[in-house]
Amino acid sequence: MTAPVTDHAVLSLLNVESAYGPIKAIRGVSLQVRRGEIATVLGSNGAGKTTILKTISGIIDPRKGSVEFKGENITAQDPAFIVQQGLMHVPEGREVFPLLSVRDNLLMGAYTRSDRDGVARDMELVFSYFPILKERAAQDAGLLSGGQQQMLAISRALMANPDLILLDEPSLGLSPKLTKEIFEIVVRINRERGTTLLLVEQNASMALNAADYGYVLENGRIVMEDTCARLREKEDIKEFYLGMKEAGVRADRRWKKKKTWR
């Protein structure tokens, strides 16, 4: 499948293949993320979502294919170099620095910046999105709850004032209510700041409501792509990924059904 190539794609993957020894985790993945949008890759456990993000951010070198960011080829570049280009990765399981304070974790996100006023402004901005982080600013990050650590991990990425944020399963381990809150803020960040995001998720319902454009990943291959509005209406998406056969089930009721993806 060939994805539409547009000249305002901030990120383009072309036929990317990555493996762990003999295990091919992703095969011939091509995708684009356009400036200002939220794009999503949906897939179940082991589909290859994390591998795609690790390949983009330089943690894994692909066997084949290329990764282009803002028109530059960044394939297999050093992760630190890729961060400097304005690409931040919020990993699966968040990985905050547990023994540093919340404030110092946020400052770590801004380490590539020299505009102290801008950093201070962005600190206030992330506190406005996540007021709990301001209350806990002096506390060790390791003492935050899982959801609060997710807020911190997203905020730390924002502190770099990046051109693109990669977000690996922000819903992991969170209650439906907290997941909904985090997704609402992710959408606000995108709408208010124009931050471009690539979000990978198993939680198809949340991701399809938040994102503009979506890709469906199965066994390391992209099997479908479309606007999220259209993907939400496709019968096989409803059936397999949203766990609802009949139309008309409201999003908040879906969560109460055991048939959902997770």
Site residues (vs ligand ATP, CB under 6 A): 20, 23, 25, 43, 45-51, 92, 202
Beta strands in the chain (DSSP E): 9-20, 23-34, 38-42, 64-69, 72-73, 87-90, 164-168, 196-201, 213-218, 221-227
Report CA 71 to chain centroid distance, whole Å.
20
Smallest gap from Cβ 121 to ligand ATP, in A, equals 34
Which tokens go with 220? 């390391």
Smallest gap from Cβ 200 to Mg ion, in A, equals 7
Spatial distance between the Cα atoms of 44 and 6, rounded to a whole number of angstroms: 28
Interacting partner of 25 out of Mg ion, ligand ATP, none (Cβ under 5 to 8 A depending on kind): ligand ATP
Spatial distance between the Cα atoms of 146 and 83, rounded to a whole number of angstroms: 25
Residue 46 or 98 having the CB closest to ligand ATP: 46
- DSSP one-letter code for 63: S
Spatial distance between the Cα atoms of 81 and 74, rounded to a whole number of angstroms: 9
Residue 27 or 136 having the CB closest to ligand ATP: 27
Smallest gap from Cβ 53 to ligand ATP, in A, equals 8
Smallest gap from Cβ 166 to ligand ATP, in A, equals 12
Residue 9 or 60 having the CB closest to ligand ATP: 60
Composition of the chain by helix, strand, coil, percent to 5: 40, 25, 35
Smallest gap from Cβ 209 to ligand ATP, in A, equals 19
Smallest gap from Cβ 19 to ligand ATP, in A, equals 8
Residue type, 44: S
Interacting partner of 46 out of Mg ion, ligand ATP, none (Cβ under 5 to 8 A depending on kind): ligand ATP
Q: Which residue is nearest to Mg ion (CB)?
A: 50
Instruction: Give residues with Cβ within 8 angstroms of 251, minimum separation 6.
Output: 205, 209
Interacting partner of 148 out of Mg ion, ligand ATP, none (Cβ under 5 to 8 A depending on kind): none
Spatial distance between the Cα atoms of 167 and 155, rounded to a whole number of angstroms: 11
